[in-house]
C-alpha cells in the first residue's frame, strides 16, 4: 500500500466515521446538559438521516436547565 492509497482510505472512510461518532458524543452531552434523555437523543440523531436530524436537534433543542433565581444569593451582605 503506497502513501496515496492510505490518504485516500483515511479521507473517504475513517474521517467521516470519526465525524459521525464525534457528533453523537456532542449531541449526547448537549442533551444531558439540557435535561433530556441523552442516549435516546443521541441515537435518534445518529440513526435518523444523520445530517438532517442533527440540524433538527440544534434548531429545536430546549433551553439549558438553570437553577431557579434566588435574590438572596445576589444581595450585598
pLDDT tens for 24-42 read 898 899 888 888 888 988 8
Supply 38's cell numbers. Answer: 441523552
DSSP H or E stretch at residue 33: helix 15-33
- C-alpha neighbours within 13 Å on the C-beta side of residue 15: 7
Residue 44 lies in a domain: yes
Q: What is the CA radius of gyration of the chain?
A: 20
pLDDT for position 68: 64
pLDDT for position 48: 80
pLDDT for position 66: 65
Could you tell me if 61 and 27 are in contact, meaning their C-beta atoms sit under 8 angstroms apart? no
- Residue 62's φ and ψ, nearest 5 degrees, are -75, 165
Residue 53 lies in a domain: yes
* pLDDT beneath 70: ranges in the chain: 1, 64-77
pLDDT for position 46: 83
Residue 75 lies in a domain: no
Count of domains for the chain: 1
Domain that holds residue 37: 27-59
Could you tell me if 54 and 23 are in contact, meaning their C-beta atoms sit under 8 angstroms apart? yes
Amino acid at each position: 500500500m503506497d502513501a496515496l492509497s492510505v490518504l485516500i482510505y483515511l479521507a473517504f472512510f475513517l474521517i467521516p466515521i470519526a465525524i459521525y461518532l464525534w457528533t453523537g458524543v456532542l449531541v449526547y452531552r448537549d442533551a444531558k446538559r439540557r435535561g433530556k434523555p441523552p442516549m435516546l437523543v443521541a441515537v435518534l440523531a445518529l440513526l435518523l438521516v444523520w445530517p438532517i436530524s442533527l440540524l433538527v436537534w440544534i434548531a429545536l433543542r430546549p433551553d439549558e436547565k438553570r437553577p431557579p433565581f434566588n435574590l438572596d444569593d445576589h444581595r450585598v451582605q
